[in-house]
């Protein structure tokens, strides 16, 4: 029987993408799961199944509770999705237990299986199985829709994760406002953030006199937002994979150095369009994307072909098979 422990980043500064993709993988696991979080979170607690057990570690770098259950044989597999945890250390606690790690950048990770949903080249390292590329994007299949009849022209989504500590959303809002003010384009705009984002008051101040700008906090149905928007401005994280599956083309802006190289790859694949984190660059490239129907259609077609909404199921099956082979 599978006894899976999931150690996942859950602090607000890490964003919710780590938890959301682990939650999606968990949907394909029939047995009880043991969750290990950075600290208490009502948002996450409400989403976790009542059948599961929930443990709070003493900070984002620790895994004492996880170690205890591993040593006492309560677990026979561990899934780690946290940039703050050294998988090698967890692996050394009890090397009889197989480890899977989900990463986005540091591909050289000590684990039995390493999953990276980004389109990077798989290294050839003995003893580690790599599952790389958008085929393993752990998103809900509810996003995989090819029905675009509800798309509204010039309805723009601004989405840089739940936290957006860098405030890139603010530059995006200013860029769209410039287009609206100089009448280059009419637009309806949706901005998504979480309640704990540090930039909420700044966003509200920027859009207070613009009735066509809407701020949505802690959206429970992002698929509905994707359904009606026809362009998104965001980063190349989990939400970008959701948008590709939903047929929503994106203007991509990097939030860190890892994003820089990832955006280069997505652009070469033909499913992304780039801007820099400046009002002028966002405005210029957004305007080009708004008025280029052919480019948007190409971005949609390639993105939908790359992300099919079955990645979470594929990863769950790999976990199940990994445990079976280890028994």
Specify the range with the lowest mean pLDDT, choosing from 64-68, 140-144, 154-158, 201-205: 140-144
Count of structural domains, the chain: 2
- pLDDT of res. 152: 80
Same-domain check for residues 300 and 151: yes
Same domain, 11 and 37: yes
pLDDT of residue 180: 82
- pLDDT attached to residue 181: 73
- Both 25 and 60 in one domain: the answer is yes
Per-residue HEC secondary structure of the chain comes to: CCCEEEEECCCHHHCCHHHHHHHHHHCCCCCCEEEEECCCCHHHHHHCCCCCEEEECCCCCCCHHHHHHHHCCCCCEEEEECCCCCHHHHHHHCCCCCEEEECCCCCCCCCCEEEECCCCCCCCCCCCEEEECHHHCCCCHHHCCCCCCCCCCCEEEEECCCCCCCCHHHHHHHHHHHHHHCCCCCCEEEEEECCCCCCHHHHHHHHCCCCCEEEEECCCCHHHHHHHCCEEEECCCHHHHHHHHCCCCEEECCCCHHHHHHHHHHHHHCCCEECCCCHHHHHHHHHHHHCCHHHHHHHHHHHHHHCCCCHHHHHHHHHHHHHHHHC
Top-confidence residue, 109 or 298: 298
Average pLDDT over residues 15-32: 92
Beta bridge partners of 190: 157, 214
User: Do 187 and 212 contact (CB within 8 A), yes or no?
Assistant: yes
313: left (phi over 0), alpha (psi -120 to 50) or beta: alpha
Question: Mean pLDDT of all residues in the chain?
Answer: 91
Given pLDDT bands bounded at 50, 70 and 90, which one contains residue 196?
confident
Q: Is the pLDDT of residue 94 over 80?
A: no
Categorize the per-residue pLDDT at 183 as very low, low, confident or very high, splitting at 50, 70 and 90: low
Q: Give the closest residue to 118 by CA, choosing from 253, 240, 273.
A: 240
Is residue 39 predicted with pLDDT exceeding 80?
yes
Whether residue 293 is found in the same domain as residue 168: yes
Same domain, yes or no, for 250 and 236?
Answer: yes
Q: Same domain, yes or no, for 11 and 96?
A: yes
Looking at residue 82, which CATH number applies to its domain?
A: 3.40.50.11190
At residue 104, the pLDDT reads: 83
Check whether 123 has a pLDDT greater than 80.
no
Q: What is the pLDDT of residues 239-268, one digit of tens each?
A: 999 999 999 999 999 998 889 989 999 999
Q: What is the model's pLDDT at position 321?
A: 95
131 alpha-carbon distance from chain centroid: 17
Mean pLDDT of 187-204: 94
Looking at the fold, whether 178 and 294 belong to one and the same domain comes out as yes
Same domain assignment for residues 290 and 313: no
The band of 106, judged by pLDDT with boundaries at 50, 70 and 90, is low
- Residues 197, 74, single domain; the answer is no
* pLDDT the model gives residue 182: 67
- Residue 200, domain extent: 142-306
Q: Are residues 133 and 154 in the same domain?
A: no
The answer on 297 and 321 residing in a single domain is no
Cα–Cα distance measured from residue 77 to residue 99, given in angstroms and rounded to the nearest whole number: 6
Instruction: List the CATH number of the domain containing 236.
Output: 3.40.50.2000
Q: What percent of the chain has pLDDT over 70?
A: 97
Same domain, 31 and 115: yes
Q: Looking at per-residue confidence, does 107 or 299 come out higher? A: 299
């Amino acid at each position: 029987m599978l006894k899976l422990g999931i150690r996942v980043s859950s602090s607000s500064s890490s964003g919710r993408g780590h938890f959301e993709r682990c939650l999606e993988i968990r949907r394909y696991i029939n047995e009880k799961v043991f969750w290990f979080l950075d600290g208490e979170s009502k948002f996450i607690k409400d989403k976790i199944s009542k059948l599961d057990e929930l443990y709070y570690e003493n900070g984002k770098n620790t895994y004492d509770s996880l170690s205890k259950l591993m040593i006492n044989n309560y677990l026979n597999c561990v899934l780690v999705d946290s940039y703050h945890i050294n998988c090698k250390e967890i692996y050394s606690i009890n090397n009889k237990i197989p480890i899977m790690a989900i990463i986005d950048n540091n591909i050289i990770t000590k684990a039995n299986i390493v999953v990276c949903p980004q389109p990077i080249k798989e290294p050839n390292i003995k003893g580690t199985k790599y599952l790389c590329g958008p085929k393993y994007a752990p998103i809900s299949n509810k996003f995989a829709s090819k029905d675009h009849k509800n798309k509204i022209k010039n309805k723009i989504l601004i989405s840089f994760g739940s936290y957006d500590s860098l405030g890139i959303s603010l530059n995006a809002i200013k860029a769209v406002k410039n287009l609206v003010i100089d009448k280059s384009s009419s637009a309806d705009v949706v901005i998504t953030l979480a309640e704990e984002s540090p930039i909420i008051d700044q966003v509200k101040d920027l859009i207070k006199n613009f009735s066509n700008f809407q701020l949505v906090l802690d959206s429970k149905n992002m698929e509905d937002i994707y359904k009606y928007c026809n362009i998104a401005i965001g980063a190349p994280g989990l939400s970008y994979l959701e948008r590709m599956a939903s047929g929503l083309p994106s203007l991509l802006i990097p939030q860190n150095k890892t994003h820089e190289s990832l955006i280069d790859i997505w652009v070469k694949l033909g499913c992304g369009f780039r801007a820099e984190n400046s009002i002028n660059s966002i405005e210029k490239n957004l305007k080009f994307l708004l008025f280029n129907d052919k480019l948007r259609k190409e971005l949609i077609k390639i993105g939908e072909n790359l992300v099919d909404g079955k990645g979470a199921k594929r990863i769950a099956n790999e976990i199940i098979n990994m445990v079976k082979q280890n028994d």
